[in-house]
Amino acid sequence: MAASVHPSRADAAPATGPEQALLLVNLGTPAAPTAAAVRRYLAEFLSDRRVVALTPWLWWPLLYGVILPLRAPRVAKLYAQVWMTDGSPLAVHTARLAQAVQRQLPELRVAHAMRYGEPALAKGLRALRDAGARRVLVLPLYPQYSTTTTASVADVAATVEGVDVQVVPDYHDDAGWVAAVADSVRAHWEAHGRGERLLFSFHGIPQRLVDAGDPYQAQSRASVAAIAAALRLRDEDWLLTFQSRFGREPWLQPYTDQTLRALAEAGVRRVDVVCPGFAVDCLETLEEIAQQNAALFRAHGGEALRYIPCLNDAPEHAEALAMLARRALAERD
């Protein structure tokens, strides 16, 4: 079921294309692997009250005076390690995914946008409206709902007038998506062999948000249970962990890095890691998991951490999202 926003349709431009459109929305990325570009991106991202709930007069001096000057140069170096010829992995793979979904949905206009950075979400919605779209289905590329991600997309979508906007809140247990993830794991095992454990690593959020009612942890668990069932795994074959914590407060546990260290020290030699909370590969998967955590695992006695890539623009992924979009649009007809 999709959440809806029904802004005024006044001043809408004459129709020049399909009246229904699909807008895939991802988190965002710096425009370049430089300290200046990363600083601009992080400033926008960390200024979102959905991400950091502190009042600006408390948060901004710390953000602009301490965090950005220290963090931007360091993060830029990490981006440089995974930067692709065409740009940031997240930007490249998101654009390719939108193109793949467009091929599945010739009756719709399909575009992509970012919540932070470019192409900007509000600008993308206005462009679709001005091109003739009267109804836009916004599909945040976050399979699991969180107030820190999906709700922020809905906030921006609600500000654009002159178009009927429908936001898909999540697809954490969508059968097509679950099958696509499971198939990608099977294909990886067929090509590279199977590790002793399969670790599902999701981006973390502060524990206090879940305590306040955020469904992200429950939906992450439901996603993993569905994927594990599709793979016919035993309970002892897999683990669910959370990565990318920031700051000193408790985040969702168990933590990915601590779990990998404990596995290595317990004698586990080969671990496969998949990240179903990410629609496409990005810094958090390619650098944090495939490089940083792989090195950590080896440093504590493990032999190999094999990262299973995100679905990216795989045909099965595009087909699953296209089917999801068709159902969401049909629900409103």
Residues 129-160 have pLDDT tens digits of 999 999 999 999 999 999 999 999 999 999 99
Please identify which residue in the block is written with the tokens 């459109």: 21
Distance CA 211, CA 319 (A): 35
Amino acid 294 reads A
Picking from 244, 248, 258, 256, the residue whose alpha carbon sits closest to that of residue 205 is 244
Output the pTM of the full model: 0.93
Distance CA 162, CA 124 (A): 13
In DSSP terms, 120 is beta-bridged to 114
Picking from 31, 4, 32, 25, the residue whose alpha carbon sits closest to that of residue 111 is 25
pLDDT at 212: 97
Sequence-distant (≥ 6) Cβ neighbours of residue 218 within 8 angstroms: none
pLDDT at 253: 98
Segment 237-295, tens digit of pLDDT: 999 999 999 888 999 999 999 999 999 999 999 999 999 999 999 999 999 999 999 99
Segment 285-321, tens digit of pLDDT: 999 999 999 999 999 999 999 999 999 999 999 999 9
Q: In which order are the strands placed within the sheet that holds 304-308? A: 238-243, 197-203, 270-274, 304-308
pLDDT at 1: 44
The answer to whether the bond into 119 is cis (omega within 30° of 0) is yes
Phi, psi of 197 (to 5 degrees): -140, 150
Please identify which residue in the block is written with the tokens 């002793």: 196
Instruction: Tell me what percent of the residues of the chain surpass a pLDDT of 90.
Output: 93
Three-state DSSP class for 43?
helix
Phi, psi of 295 (to 5 degrees): -65, -40
Instruction: Tell me what percent of the residues of the chain surpass a pLDDT of 70.
Output: 95
Confidence band for 10, pLDDT divided at 50, 70 and 90: very low
